[in-house]
Amino acid sequence: MIKVILLGSGNVAVHLSRAFEKSKNIEFIQRYSRSKNNNDFFDKSIPIIHDISRLKIADIYIIAISDDAIIEFSEQLKFNQGLVVHTAGNLPVEALQCTANKGVLYPLQTFSKDQNLNFKNIPISIETEKESDYTLLKSLAETLSDKVYSFDYQQRKHIHLAAVFANNFSNHMFKIAYDICEKQNISFEILKPLIAETANKIAKSDPQNAQTGPAKRNDKKVIENHLQQLDKNQQEIYKLVTKSIINTYQSK
Amino acid sequence: MIKVILLGSGNVAVHLSRAFEKSKNIEFIQRYSRSKNNNDFFDKSIPIIHDISRLKIADIYIIAISDDAIIEFSEQLKFNQGLVVHTAGNLPVEALQCTANKGVLYPLQTFSKDQNLNFKNIPISIETEKESDYTLLKSLAETLSDKVYSFDYQQRKHIHLAAVFANNFSNHMFKIAYDICEKQNISFEILKPLIAETANKIAKSDPQNAQTGPAKRNDKKVIENHLQQLDKNQQEIYKLVTKSIINTYQSK
């Protein structure tokens, strides 16, 4: 049994907590939270503390707070035992300012409290500063997920960046589609089967095989027609993404 | 029973054909194809012709060929009986140059021959030039799908445009994510659960509720860090989409 303490109460903390509770190899002994926010999303049987000095002794301390708070928060962890890990894709292991051994456990997913996720399916990238800690962190990660990777910081920050395009930016394309529909009094519901199938194709193939549309065909007539229907901001994005698609597929 | 003839052999034709075969209210009497392409994707029991003059008499003739070929192709249809419809989102009903009555049956989906789809779940937008044809086309559409809409050309072409953002452009964001991973020797597989969840969130919510990431938070430090890792084309897209996200969520 790996004794685990979770520090945080955001979306990642909620989902880690649920995964800990399901695991037979993890003893989830305590949770630290600065505030009482989101308490309802956590199992009430896990002791919660709001004072960092009351932390128990554990094998792994997992910091699941917002990226920009990690450095300052970790300065408060003055103990030497155990392994302290953060969960940020975009920060090196050295971002941790604690005195104990350090590592990273980065789950690559978009988390919402009200969404149920199967953690077993979520890729986790792990890294430890000291090699001697690696086996412990790996066994924790493998308890949580079937997809455990060992990427270094250089790779991990590129995965984080790729995730911005794959999630944040694709979602903004959905938002522009939403705005176009809304302006014509069309329910966004009509696009949902298309969006589901867009992701479904990617699950079975690569994006270059799934690409279709006027930009892929370099169909100037349709592109010109589309541009006339858009506002200035939408036009800028349409032009740039279309140019990028044309360049991607013409050069091959 | 509605007697239907299908004209075309591309992705839309393949999926319409499969849906016709499943329906008890449709008599799929003939298929026209210019070439012998994709013949293996169609039911061999449906008579196929390659000479347009051999078309039988049907209630509805469905043209499922590429958008830019519809005008010229429809000029060849010299008969007066029945209803001729095209399946293009981006063309008015008047694009049809035939002498018979005209209409549109636009299925809003991205079609691949090798992907199985449940047509019942695909939104179909219908339109007829003459009101007297509407009931017939509606009953055909309702046989194919549970989601039949009656949008005019103005709305339909905006749906087509919204679909470019929702499908083509989001897929290009996946492609850039793919390229970023590939450059670091990271398998794109690691992003697939994230992409699946991105679409899953949209199925239950709206894109504005699902938006997360450094642009949404206007986190200048992370944005600057990300820009340094990208090539020039990727940088341009990152900057413009980030600016658009910031503008979208700051003004609210």
Its ipTM equals 0.95
Confidence bin at B36 (pLDDT 50/70/90): confident
Residues B235-239: contacts with CB within 8 Å, 24+ apart?
B236/A240, B236/A244, B237/A169, B237/A240, B237/A241, B237/A244, B237/B176, B238/A164, B238/A165, B238/A169
- For A64: left if phi > 0, alpha if psi spans -120 to 50, otherwise beta; the answer is beta
The answer to whether B95 faces chain A, any CB pair under 8 Å, is no
Q: A252 or A156: which carries more pLDDT confidence? A: A156
The SS3 call for residue A245 is helix
Backbone angles phi and psi of B242, in degrees to 5:
-60, -45
Return the amino acid letter for B154.
Answer: Q
Q: Does A39 touch chain B (CB under 8 A)?
A: no
Residues in chain B, total: 252
The 3-state secondary structure of chain B reads: CEEEEEECCCHHHHHHHHHHHHCCCEEEEEEECCCCCCHHHCCCCCCEECCHHHCCCCCEEEECCCHHHHHHHHCCCCCCCCEEEECCCCCCHHHCCCCCEEEEEEECCCCCCCCCCCHHHCCEEEEECCHHHHHHHHHHHHHHCCCEECCCHHHHHHHHHHHHHHHHHHHHHHHHHHHHHHHCCCCHHHHHHHHHHHHHHHHHCCHHHHCCCHHHHCCHHHHHHHHCCCCHHHHHHHHHHHHHHHHHHHCC
* CB pair distance less than 8 Å for B166 and A194: yes
Q: Is the pLDDT at A202 greater than 90, yes or no?
A: yes
pLDDT digits (tens, 9 = 90+) for A38-78: 888 998 899 999 999 999 999 999 999 999 899 999 999 99
Q: How many angstroms separate the CA of residue B208 from the nearest CA in chain A? A: 6
A195 in reach of chain B (CB within 8 A): yes
Nearest CB among B121, B193, B207 relative to A178 is that of: B207
How many whole angstroms separate alpha carbon A136 and alpha carbon A128? 10
The number of C-alpha atoms within 13 Å of A122 and in the hemisphere containing its C-beta is 21
Q: How confident is the model at residue B250 (pLDDT cuts 50, 70, 90)?
A: confident
Question: Which positions in chain A touch B190 (Cβ < 8 Å)?
Answer: 108, 123, 147, 149, 159
The whole-chain average pLDDT of chain B stands at 95
| pLDDT tens per residue across span A162-197 | 999 999 999 999 999 999 999 999 999 999 999 999
Out of B162, B186, B210, the one facing A180 most closely (by C-beta) is: B162
pLDDT of res. A251:
61
Is it the case that residue B235 has pLDDT exceeding 80? yes
Contact A198 B167 (CB under 8 A): yes
Q: What is the pLDDT of residue B76?
A: 96
- Whether A146 contacts chain B with CB within 8 A: no
Predicted model pTM = 0.94
A224 inside 8 A of chain B by CB: no
Nearest CA in chain A to B91: A222
Write down the residue that tokens 């492609």 correspond to: B175
Hey, are the CB atoms on A167 and B207 less than 8 Å from each other?
Answer: no
pLDDT at A252 over 70: no
Interchain CB distance below 8 Å, A211 and B151: no
Residue B197 with chain A: CB contacts under 8 Å: 109-110, 115, 117, 167
pLDDT of residue B40: 87
For residue B27, list its beta bridge partners. Answer: B3
Which residue of B121, B151, B174, B250 is the best one to mutate when testing the A interface, meaning the one whose CB has the most A CBs within 10 A? B174
Q: Hey, is A39 helix, strand or coil?
A: helix
- Which residues from B are below 8 Å from A116, CB to CB? none
Size of interface A-B (CB pairs under 8 A): 300
Beta bridge partners, B105, equal B126
Residue-wise pLDDT for B42-90, tens only, equals: 988 999 999 999 999 999 999 999 998 999 999 999 999 999 999 999 9
Cα distances (Å, whole numbers) of residue B230 to A93, A157, A160, A237, B86: 22, 12, 12, 18, 43
Predicted pLDDT of residue B70: 96
Secondary structure letter of residue A165 according to DSSP: I
pLDDT by residue (tens digit) across A3-39?
999 999 999 999 999 999 999 899 999 999 998 878 8
Q: Which residues pair with A250 in a beta bridge?
A: none
The 3-state DSSP class for residue A40 equals helix
CA angle A92, A98, A100 (to 5 degrees): 100
Q: Is A211 on the interface with B (CB under 8 A)?
A: yes
Q: A174 at the B interface (CB within 8 A)?
A: yes
User: How close B219 comes to chain A (CA, Å)?
Assistant: 9
Residue B137, both tokens = 């086309």
